[in-house]
Structure 1
Amino acid sequence: MRAASKAARGLPGARGLAVLFALLAIILPGGHAVFDDLSGRLREKTFDSYQSVSPRDLDMSRMAVVAIDEVSLARFGRWPWPRERVAALVDAVTRSGASAVGLDVFFSEPDDGPGGAQGDASLAGALARAPSVLAMSLDPDAGPLGLEEKAGWTVVGLDPGSAEAVPGGIAPLPMLADAVAGLGIVRVLPDRDGVIRKVPLIWAEGQEGQSRLWPALSMEMLRVAQDAPGYTLRLEGLPTDAVRVGGLTVPLGEDGRIRIIDTPAAVPHVSAASLLEEGQADGLDGRIALIAVDAAGIDQYHLTARGGHRLGADIHAILMAQMLEGRYLFEAPHARAIERGMFLGGSAMLLLILSVLARRPLLAGLLSVPVILAPLAIGAFAYASRDMLLDGVQPAAGLLVAGAAGGYMLYREAERRRSMLQKQFSQFLSPEVVKHLAATDAVAALRVEDREISAMLVDVRGFTAMSSSLGSDKTVTVVNHFLEIANREIFARGGTIDKYMGDAVLAIWNAPLEVADHADRAIDCARAIISAVSSGNAQLQASGLPGIDVVATVESGVCSVGNMGTEQRIDYTAIGPAINMVARLEVETKKRGEPVLIGPGAAARTRFALEPLGEVHLRGMEAPCTVFRPA
């Protein structure tokens, strides 16, 4: 983090990134109430996607749905059936050896068919002979259930009477309720998008402070199948809350609801028609059987997490299979804090990457990708290895937005640097070279490094005496005339103007852009400037100014090249033996009367024909060196 802070201080765009990450952290899920509802829905969609991409198989070998299906209705008449026929179906399931028989059908009113009370009595008898469970429902607009509980409750912890309770509900006929071994609640609570994701296992009925607890139909069938007398409820308002029924301990989670594992495993179905015709079925022995109507337009099909529609009885069967296996999907403890931590940690990493590598955008982008994808990988790993739900999508989306915005900020910063570069070097480089620098890794090209270059110094001969007689205005005109010629010829050959030195110009080649023939370009430029100055004298003389003569020197060698200076002033320049040599050779041109002198380094690297002029002793040089002139 100290590295990120240091980088942020050194880069204006990084400070904007830090502010951006902070703002996103505020609005990340759980960070602001306005976004809680939306983030909650997005989180559930993420959890749905986990089940869609990697669904969980459940063992359905102990479950069965006895379906009053289209075939059954075609053979035995439309629904509702007479109670005697339902009783016959219950007896057939009981004879088949089912460990529990649940009826996902409401019998809240007397039979209005021809059998009347006799039909109700027949059904009550069949229910009494079976380990049976009847469904009932809670409804805030209905009156009290008015039924005796079938199971006792032992509560450890908080008083369940303080829980939110539903004042009434829809109960089965007292005759039927008295006959069964269990009563369970069936009530649908879909999310706002219509998907059934969670089901409460315990319901409270009555008024607050005087409520009674009722189990969900699925849990009551497990109790009856185990012949357990009641439930033990640990209720402390913690993620460790659980209910024990028989030999099973079922965690309730923070909201007291169990999440449905939308398994691809099929729930076994047995047609009610075959049971009624044959009297029993071998496939039901030892299974928990749930009788339900499975016909379009009669029973309701519910949308589940993987996008399919399931019969309500199938959902109860899945819940029972989950509880028997001890297989649950719960959000990770402190999930919101973990998700925010993933975002904040990723933000710090992105800030570090985008700041430190601001001038290497491709590498910064490549390193940012795993940081952005890390929350997705963590969420997927938690689900795959622990059946634990953790939303990695929203932190990853936040990091993607932050990374994209950060990349844009750094792009703007890079454009600012390019603009500054163009402004700084447009006077010393040709427009083509400046454009190329701005489009490439200009910073890498402009760093200080040792590089072989060719240097050229061109100077006006006799300028001091001439300037003393011309006056300042005319002197400036002559100098500008010379500099214009020198700039044109240097730029035409891809050279870099190192500096102006009064009536002299120092230029270099092979920096900042590399050129293989730098010695040739420097020598050719020197000759071109001398020729252009000679041709331009007529223009000077026509303006009443004296003509000028120039001399040039060229040398090649390894020099230190790059931006040098202080915070107050920095220049792109070169220092080294080749620079010193052209300055010494410039004095020698006056002694020998040669317009162009070329040092031994440039002579060794050029393709031009040269004529040696012998050895010379230059000031500051320990050994003599051979100098050349163009042939």
Structure 2
Amino acid sequence: MIPLFIALLHAGGVLPLGLLQRLDDVLYDARLRATMPRTLDERIVIVDIDEKSLAEVGRWPWGRNRLAELTDELFERQQAALLGFDVVFAEADESSGLKRLRQLAQGELKDQAGFAERVGQLGSSLDYDAAFARSLQKRPVVLGYYFTSDREGRTSGLLPPPVMAREALEGRPIRFTSWNGYGSNIEQLARAAPIAGFFNPIVDGDGVVRSIPLLAEHRDRHYESLSLAMFRTLVGLPAVEPGFPRDGTVSRSYQGLESVTLRLGQKTLSIPVDDRVAALVPFRGPGGPAGGSFRYVSAADLVGQRLPPGSLKGKIVLLGTTAPGLQDLRVTPVGETYPGVETHANMIAGLLDGKLHVRPDYAVGYEVVVLVLAGLTLAFALPLLSAAKAVGASVAVLAAVVGLNLWLYLGAGLVLPLASALVMVLTAFALNMSYGYFIESRSKRDLANLFGTYVPPELVDEMVKDPDSYSMAATNKELTVMFCDMRGFTKMSERMEPVQLQHLLNQVFNRLTDIIRANRGTIDKYMGDCVMAFWGAPVETAEHGHLAVKASLEMANAVRRLNEEHRVQGLPEIGVGIGLNTGMMCVGDMGSQVRRSYTVIGDAVNLGSRLEGLSKAYGVDIVVSETTRKIAGQFAWQELDRVRVKGKEQAVAIHWPLAPADWLEPAQVDELKVWGTFLRAYRAQDWDQCDVLLLNLRRMNPKKYLYELYSERVASMRLLPFDPEWDGATNFETK
């Protein structure tokens, strides 16, 4: 709820956060750039007072005679439909010298015969302002001017007539952009072309031009922008009226207009505006002659009549500049040196298309509703969800907020606040995760710390999802235990340096431990050259027997590969003996106050230890009990014997896992069939058949020690009389 409360304070203007406003601007800029059409608008042409023009015609300002020639060229030879000036003619043009000549005719040269008369004859040709005024008269021309704000409220030139009377606002305190000074065109030109518009943009707090006021206020009178004035000229100069909300639900103290309405007879056109009676500039693409949004024509080419006649027929023409020295380059969302004249071209294009994006007057209400819905959803949902689901819920809310905002932007042209909702959602998620980490996950971290040294990280990750289901308290469970002992370790310890022996032992343990952990096993302890592990606790695993057998096969193969490396390096080879048993065991945290460990105890554990010792006796690397074999499955087995180990009266069958069941070759399958027949003959005390079968087995696999062992047994037992009480088991009295 904290992020929601702060976001609502920002939205309501109680605690405005400049960072969120800047972020909203950045998001708007990104949306604008992503959705710009980036196509050429052939209706509008920009006549550019560029560097080329300054080099050919001369530095600015040019003589008004040049501008008169340029105007005549545009309307007479090029047949333009409308001309707008993004420059102001605030001072009289004295470049012809006419003023000085008149002073001389009335002063020191007044007695010069014919001088005053000659000056009078030259007056019409040397009065450049008059010539320019004549070229503007009765033509579709819109002049430009600017407003200023300073302490003294300086003014110059003649303003055009206001386009909307104060009385039309019905006393409502509309928040117009207001200025107290202006710089307009000289009276002679202003009367020749009475339609004019200001070209001031609105510069946001970050110095970026994003919008232009369509109407502005000066001394309680309301004037139109250059782009609106040109649009009105194109559509027949309709009257300008304020557009109030129509449903009558808004009080008279409401400080905004819904739109600027243009009325021509019975026809009306509503242009949506924001609370400053401004509209966002609908930028079409990157600016400048290479931007591709509008055609640029160098003013020098027009002055020099290098453009074919009729090239601009029916075009809307804007006269402006891209020359850096004339300081009409703006920072905009689509460029840091964007020609100011092109902002007006974009606005005119947007007015013609009826596609102006606007920040509506109800943006605050929209922002509050979105914040409340999204904030309450997260406030009530996040505490009830797991971390993964909390991420999903936050992403879903974020996607809904962004999706709704983009849909309104693309479909209705509405620019609505987004930053506060985004920051609120992300902050709420971050706080929830932080709370979960620092408060709720304490028990999970304790559990992870407790089991982390025994259990693979993957199992710890499963445990922390439901820490209450796990503890170190002792309990009885069916588990599978493994004892793995290295063969030849004692002999190696006598021949190797301690450090070298330590390195070798660590190398072996690292490989074996990685395999155990990869198969979800829990390391119980290391005992000299032996490692003990078990499966099925603390995380219950239904296939604990299968995983234990799989791990034992991989460990045996890993030792074989390690021995190949040792042979290359000249190091001693090692052997391995592994015993596996499944049964009920007591598992839990056991030990003294000085030292404790998470371990297993019980008869089933002792049997697993005994089986590991039998691996050497049978010449195999893995010995598995019958109980483990039954639950493991999916492997090819060779039964080794039935044994009765020390401390156990019950005989148990022991097996050797050869490989996964589908890995056996046909010859191995045949060998196992013969071996099964041999065991039946062996337990039936049919020694003659045993000899024949063993002969065949030793031919199939002459290197297998198991067949040599049983050959010796058969030879010994042949000397004994037939024993009807013998169960075929072998007794082992040593551990």
Instruction: Establish whether TM, by shorter chain, passes 0.5.
Output: yes
1:314 and 2:342 correspond = yes
Give the drift of 1:308.
4.0
2:204 is matched with which residue? 191
Which residue pairs with 2:17 in the alignment?
36
Query: 2:84: which partner in 1?
Result: 102
- The one-letter amino acid of 1:104's match is D
Alignment of 1:351-366 (within 5 A): 351=379, 354-358=382-386, 361-366=387-392
The equivalent residue for 2:142 is: 133
User: Which residue of 2 is the match for residue 258 of structure 1?
Assistant: 279
Task: Summarize the Cα distance change of 1:455–1:119 in structure 2 as closer, same or farther, 3 Å threshold.
Answer: closer
Deviates more, 1:179-188 or 1:108-117: 108-117
Q: For 1:372 and 1:292, locate their aligned partners in 2 and report how far apart those are by CA, in whole Å.
A: 44
Amino acid at match of 2:216: W
Q: Does 1:520 align with 2:541?
A: no
RMSD over aligned Cα, in angstroms?
4.4
Structure 1 residue 275, shift from structure 2 partner:
2.0
TM-score by length of 2: 0.56
* Pairing 1:182–2:195 present: yes
SS in 2 for 1:111: coil
Residues 1:220 and 2:220 are matched in the alignment: no
Stretches of structure 2 that go unaligned for 5 or more consecutive residues are 100-126, 246-254, 286-291, 481-523, 549-579, 586-600, 610-626, 629-645, 657-728
Q: How does 1:363-402 map to 2 (within 5 A)?
A: 363-402=389-428
Q: Secondary structure at the match of 2:36?
A: coil
Label 1:417 to 1:438 Cα distance change in 2 as closer, same or farther (>3 A).
farther
- 1:305 equivalent among 333, 345, 357: 333
- 129-138 or 224-233, which deviates more: 224-233
Paired residues in the alignment total: 477
Question: Matches of 2:318 and 2:143 in 1, distance apart?
Answer: 10
- 1:284 aligned partner: 312
2:214 and 2:278 in contact (8 A); partners too: yes
* Shift in CA distance, 313/248, structure 1 to aligned 2, threshold 3 Å: farther
Matches within 5 A, 1:432-511: 432=454, 438-441=460-463, 453-454=477-478
Structure possessing the higher radius of gyration over alpha carbons: 2
Between the aligned partners of 1:262 and 1:440, the Cα distance in structure 2 is: 53
Aligned letter for 2:463? D
1:244 corresponds to: 262
| Alignment match, 1:575 | none
Are residues 72 and 512 of structure 1, via their aligned partners in 2, closer, same or farther at CA, if it must alter by over 3 Å? closer
- Relative to structure 1, is the Cα distance of residues 420 and 434 closer, same or farther in structure 2, using a 3 angstrom cutoff? farther
Contact 1:453–1:510 (8 Å) recurs in 2: no
Residue 408 (structure 1) aligned to one of 419, 425, 434: 434
- In 2, are the aligned partners of 1:223 and 1:245 still within 8 Å (CA)? no
SS in 1 for 2:93: coil
Contact 1:83 1:111 in 2 (8 A): yes
Equivalent position amino acid for 2:164 in 1: W
Letter in 2 for 1:336: V
**Cα distance, 1:200 vs. partner?**
0.6
Q: Percent identity?
A: 22
Q: Secondary structure of the residue that 1:520 maps to in structure 2? A: strand
Indicate how the Cα distance of structure 1 residues 204 and 58 shifts in structure 2: closer, same or farther if over 3 A, else same: farther
Superposed CA deviations along residues 477-536 of structure 1, whole A, max 9, x for unmatched, are: xxxxxxxxxx999xx97789xxxxxxxxxxx9797455327963548832777999xxxx
Cα offset, 1:382, TM superposition: 2.8
Corresponding residue SS for 1:233: strand
Change (3 A) 1:434 1:311: closer
Q: Say if 1:382 and 1:177 are closer, same or farther in 2 by CA, change over 3 A.
A: same
Structure 2 CA distance, aligned partners of 1:156 and 1:332?
21
For 2:384 and 2:653, locate their aligned partners in 1 and report how far apart those are by CA, in whole Å.
Answer: 42
Whole-angstrom CA distance in 2 between matches of 1:105 and 1:288? 16
1:331, 1:438 → 2: CA distance?
52
User: Residues 326 and 222 of structure 1: is their aligned pair in 2 closer, same or farther, counting only changes over 3 Å?
Assistant: same
Q: Quick one: distance in 1 between partners of 2:370 and 2:604?
A: 66
Residues 160 and 377 of structure 1, relative CA distance in 2, 3 Å threshold = closer
Deviations along 1:434-481, one digit per CA (max 9) or x if unpaired, are 998654325659759xx995499xxxxxxxxxxxxxxxxxxxxxxxxx
User: What is the rounded CA distance, in whole Å, between the counterparts of 2:452 and 2:52 in structure 1?
Assistant: 89
User: 1:210-236 CA distances to partner (integer Å, 9 max, x unpaired)?
Assistant: x22211111112222334264233356
Task: Give the structure-1-normalised TM-score.
Answer: 0.64
Where in structure 1 are there 5+ consecutive unaligned residues?
1-18, 457-486, 497-507, 533-554, 557-593, 608-628
Residue 496 of structure 2 corresponds to: none
State the match for 1:615 in structure 2.
Answer: none
Amino acid in structure 2 at the alignment position of 1:288: I
Distance 2:654 2:415 in 1: 70
Structure 1 350/525 Cα, relative in aligned 2: closer, same or farther at 3 Å? same
Residue of structure 2 in register with 1:65 after alignment: 46
